[in-house]
Amino acid sequence: MGNMKLLEARQNEIIEEFSMFGDWMEKYEHIIEMGKDLNPLVDIDKTEDNLIRGCQSRVWLTAQKDDVGDVVFSADSDAIITKGLVALMVRVLSGAKPEDIANVDLHFLEDIGLNTHLSPTRSNGLASMVKQMKMYGLVFSAHS
């Protein structure tokens, strides 16, 4: 059984966190911090298969199912702002049920005023990454 409330709570937590920032600089500084704090993928995981090509920066994503059937994501990027945004996505979606990942409405980026980063024209690989994460959710829920 899914628990969409969990993903909603995680999104709300991020929205709350970002509401404390007065201007764009603080917001970006926070994203950069999160990018720095995200554990980088080990080189063996930075394979062509795990690479999500954006026009500007590269994003790597891996996914596996844990003992209780949740999907665990790990991700990395060569650009630090992208990596911070990637960290936010991992924070929301990792350790959740596959069917919830497949169906979730990701509204938090819009709510914190960073939705332009999700636009497919932004070509930072983030939009493709979200698509790929949902795809993993779909595939893993079909196998459960």
Partner 1 sequence: MDGKYDIAAIRREFPILDRKVNGFPLVYLDSAASSQKPRTVIETQREYLTHFHSNIHRGVHTLATQATEAFEGARETIKEHFNAAENAEIIFTAGATDGINLVAGTWGRANLTASSTVLITRLEHHSNIVPWQILASEIGFKIEIIEIFPEGSIDLEDYNAKLALAPSLVCFSHVSNTLGTINEAKLLTSLAHNAGAVVMVDGSQAAPHMNVDLQDINCDFYVASGHKMYGPTGIGFLYGKRALLDEMPPWRGGGEMISSVSFDVPTTFNVPPYKFEAGTPHISGAIALGAAIKWMESVGLDNIAAHELALTKYAHEKLLQIEGLRIYGTADNKAGVVSFLVDGTHPSDLGTLLDQLGVAVRTGHHCTEPLMDWYKIPGTVRASFGAYNTFEEIDALVAALERAIKMLK
Helix (H) or strand (E) holding 111: helix 108-111
CA–CA dist 126, 107 (Å, integer): 14
CA–CA dist 120, 128 (Å, integer): 8
CA–CA dist 71, 52 (Å, integer): 18
CB of 106 vs partner 1, minimal distance in Å: 20
Nearer Cβ to partner 1 (35/98):
35
CB of 107 vs partner 1, minimal distance in Å: 22
Nearer Cβ to partner 1 (101/126):
126
Nearer Cβ to partner 1 (53/135):
53
| Contact positions vs partner 1 (CB under 8 A) | 24-25, 28-29, 32, 55-58, 78-82, 124
CA–CA dist 93, 99 (Å, integer): 11
CB of 47 vs partner 1, minimal distance in Å: 17
Task: Tell me if 50 sits within 8 A of 76, measured CB to CB.
Answer: no
Helix (H) or strand (E) holding 58: strand 58-65
CA–CA dist 112, 31 (Å, integer): 12
CB of 27 vs partner 1, minimal distance in Å: 9
Catalytic residues: 55
Nearer Cβ to partner 1 (61/85):
85
